[in-house]
Structure 1
């Protein structure tokens, strides 16, 4: 056996020794022009039929548990690892076709055999050995499977020559003698065709300027031929642009070409994500554009956005109409640009759904989704949507209300929670509360069963609170405008679990101007949006 191994490596040493240095980043659409021929040479030409081949992942459709609201609802108990569309699933595939098994796979995928090497050490005698081993055509559907590198980066499993073609970075190995290829695109005006691609900002971002990226979806592309795409997930690994001014973005990030109406965002959005619905690429080729527009002025502008292409029919797709989708029993959700900072502002023109898959809790489907405001330590405000206005005239002053007393009443009202859409003041004027800016929680209620579905103000609480305050110019008594000044946990039994966040286009006062505004609203001051911890029970 030892003699055979020695002969094997001796012959391999004569096969195409080192290759050139690492190339610069290239446009994936340009790079893929040679992919069809390369795959043909590497015995990938026997592609399975597009409509009969299992999709990108080797998932098995699972029958929903009895009592779940729909096919997207909870399939994962708490003690099981959550599904991850970036993780490879290759348990059913042969580990290797080499007689050395996993040892050969890992060795060939290492830097010794890889053709992506530092010019300081150009001797790689086995650089192309990996690519000379034809893959098993019966498993050709596994080409471009998702994988995770040892460093935790998302990538795709492919031959090292294909990885080099797209200027990817091999990091770890996959089965079938492939490498886990991490793909990064820097700069503007590029086109992406590969799943799990990172779009990173260029070294220098000028202003004013714009920077766009095109995601090309077409089942005729070799790298997408086994997995028609129906959704794109964007994960904002890092995201910083100029902050909004009075809620309005000067720098903007927008999405075009998707059927999902994604809101315009700016500011700091690291850790946020978006699901974008697209027509099935197996039926209709389409392009999705990610677009930054930068206004004049100095500001930090940088980003690293992970682009995942999700196959039609997969059981981890977000339900229709959900911009964000959470698949765990506990976690944290916040509005775009929410920060634990005293200067953070909520964004105008937000209107989207945040959905939560029903999970298993103690081996049973959860019956409640509960929301509590986040704990903050750096001066941020975990819940501030709309500034409730005091109805000073309705305080029934005993000796008159001085401006100082009215100011104290206004400051007190600004700390209160608020619910529902509007109220009628003592002068008979109807004023908006949670009409233009609000968080909608269908069936939301506190521990005592007090219920409200619209929440705004400066605290999360559906319960009313009597108002009583005294000022030097006179006592202010009467009912409070809004609810409590203390946030509490709000739970909902309504499935599928979902909340909706909506803001209008201004933080200024709203005057009646039918049909766009039928109810007046006072100006908003220092609104931050929300940060909530969720827990299913």
Structure 2
């Protein structure tokens, strides 16, 4: 009998050690009380042994000690992903794990960061740098691409990305080639079944420039409320906000166009849709130039030749049939304060008259060509910046 009790004790001890080892893999830290009445949507632990409970929790976003957001994971999970632990989460049950990838890598991890070599230090360029993004699971439909910090060389004077370029391929969404300063821009790209999406940055070594990038890649489930509607390369939410064209900025491009005049910051060969979610209780939307910025709608025309009575005013606004090269389309617009239709949905020129639209869904379209020179009916485009439009939704 004594020998039997001895072996029972040994077996019990071994089970306890094994259970504690599994426990350590899923939770590692300090002391805290397990809350059996969890009200935070966290999964409850499983009892492997009378003395030990494995703690489970939701793998949600978490705030880290730096500017990046992480995912709440167990320490072992984070280590297996080659992630970096930056703090605690889930009431200290988990670790805030940041997964960052560099050139020539692949990922199927949600909330992955893709950074330039040596980030945040400047990258000299010289090689094509890419990341391949595979779906986390079969319920993923879309990739949200947040350009948290995206500074590449400016386009040439005709708006073509000839020095540096950001290209996004493999998805079911056509994405234009981007360059210049696009910090703060967000793109939504549909996955094409199980095909991977490739994000590539080409940077020319011959051009010395303080280029850098930090891109957050968030995979959105097919039932996610934040999913952008089909056909929307960009998707804004909220009652008010500001919509900027790619590479918009108040400083002029230093490169000359083919016409040997100051070139454009506005990127060439654009044709994409921007959508704004209609918030509850709102039935129309108003667009106007960004406040205190005379360059906030300089889409066509000669910026350098316009004085303050034209630049950024209704005098500089052009619309309708005169907009043939670079323009913004707003469906069924009404001129603010007149209750009269604008008579056209195309807008270009050096100024913008505020308009409202009740057309659903809320959407505008951006079209540019690759010719900044004079046409049969228009003068050459000089020092265009693009647009920065403020929007405000109007209550029903």
Normalised TM-score (structure 1)? 0.57
The answer to whether the aligner puts 1:355 opposite 2:275 as a matched pair is: yes
1:34-61 CA-to-partner distances (Å, cap 9, x unmatched) read xxxx9xx97xxxxxxxxxxxxxxxxxxx
Aligned pair partner of 1:275 in 188, 212, 222? 188
Shift of 1:152: 6.1
- Cα offset for 1:535? 0.6
Is the Cα contact below 8 Å between 1:150 and 1:172 reproduced in 2? no
| Correspondence for 1:434 | 323
Size of the aligned set, in residue pairs, is 337
Partners in 2 of 1:357 and 1:192 — Cα distance? 30
Q: How much has 1:286 moved relative to structure 2?
A: 1.7
Q: Aligned to 1:242, what secondary structure does the other structure show?
A: coil
Instruction: Please state whether the residue corresponding to 1:460 is helix, strand or coil.
Output: coil
Structure-1 residue corresponding to 2:33: none
Compute the RMSD of aligned alpha carbons.
3.2
What is residue 148 of structure 1 aligned with on the other side? 63
Q: Is the 1:208–1:297 Cα contact (8 Å) retained in structure 2?
A: no
Match of 1:199 among 114, 119, 131: 114
Helix, strand or coil: the match of 2:103?
Answer: coil
Shift in Å at residue 135 of structure 1? 4.8
The answer to whether the aligner puts 1:235 opposite 2:146 as a matched pair is: yes
Change (3 A) 1:412 1:94: closer
Instruction: Kindly report which structure 2 residues correspond to 1:511-526, keeping only aligned pairs within 5 A, or say none.
Output: 521-526=378-383
Separation (CA, whole Å) in 2 of partners of 1:532 and 1:183: 34
Paired with 2:148 and 2:275, the residues of 1 have a C-alpha distance of 20
Which residue number in structure 1 is paired with residue 40 of structure 2? 91
Counterpart residue number, 2:130: 212
For 1:426, the equivalent position in structure 2 comes to none
Residue 135 of structure 1 contacts residue 176 of structure 1 at CA under 8 Å; is this kept in 2?
A: no
**Residue from 320, 331, 336 that aligns with 1:420:** 320
Say which SS state the counterpart of residue 54 (structure 2) adopts: coil
Matching residue of 2:32: none
Q: Tell me: CA distance 1:239–1:133, structure 2 relative to 1, closer, same or farther (3 Å).
A: farther
Distance verdict in 2 for CA 1:372–1:335, change over 3 Å: same
1:532 to 376, 389, 392: 389
Equivalence for 2:366 = 501
Alignment match, 2:260? none
- Match in the other structure for 1:385: 299
- SS of 2:379's equivalent in the other structure is coil
Superposition pairs of residues 116-155 of structure 1, within 5 angstroms: 134-135=54-55, 142=58, 144-149=59-64, 153-155=68-70
Q: Gapped runs of 5+ residues in structure 1? A: 1-10, 17-37, 43-89, 99-131, 218-223, 390-406, 422-432, 462-488, 512-519
Q: Does 1:328 align with 2:238?
A: yes
Query: Which string of whole-angstrom CA distances, capped at 9 and with x for unpartnered residues, describes residues 331-363 of structure 1?
Result: 111001001324471111111111011113xxx
State the alpha-carbon separation in 2 of the partners of residues 152 and 300 from structure 1: 20
Distance of 1:212 and 1:510 partners within structure 2: 38
Q: 2: distance between equivalents of 1:152 and 1:525?
A: 38
Distance 2:221 2:92 in 1: 22
Structure-2 change in CA distance of 1:413 and 1:156 (3 Å): closer
Deviations 1:470-492 (A, max 9, x none): xxxxxxxxxxxxxxxxxxx2111
2: distance between equivalents of 1:191 and 1:496?
Answer: 36
Q: Deviations over 1:49-88 (max 9, x none)?
A: xxxxxxxxxxxxxxxxxxxxxxxxxxxxxxxxxxxxxxxx
Deviation at 1:202? 0.5
Displacement of 1:92 after TM fit? 3.0
Matched residues in 1 for 2:147 and 2:216: separation?
A: 6
Contact 2:329 2:365 in 1 (8 A): yes
Which residue pairs with 1:252 in the alignment?
Answer: 165
Alignment partners' CA distance in 1, 2:360 and 2:306 = 42
Q: CA deviation at 1:249?
A: 1.2
Match of 2:284 in 1: 368
Once the two structures are TM-superposed, the CA of residue 95 in structure 1 deviates from its matched residue by 6.5
Q: Which residue of 2 aligns with 1:64?
A: none
Matches within 5 A, 1:269-348: 269-279=182-192, 284-295=193-204, 296-343=206-253, 345-348=265-268
What secondary structure does 2:130 align onto?
strand
1:176 CA displacement? 9.3
Change (3 A) 1:332 1:96: farther
Among 451, 454, 464, the alignment partner of 2:346 is 454
In 2: Cα distance, 1:267 partner to 1:455 partner: 24
CA positional deviation for 1:287: 1.0
Shift of residue 151, structure 1, vs aligned partner: 5.2
Assess, with a 3 A threshold, how the Cα gap between structure 1 residues 408 and 236 changes in structure 2: closer, same or farther.
closer
Question: Does the 8 Å CA contact 2:318/2:351 hold for their aligned counterparts?
Answer: yes
Displaced runs of 4+ in structure 1, greater than 4 A? 94-98, 411-415
Q: Distance in 2 between matches of 1:153 and 1:207?
A: 24
Q: Work out whether residues 153 and 180 of structure 2, in 8 Å CA contact, stay in contact via their aligned partners in 1.
A: yes
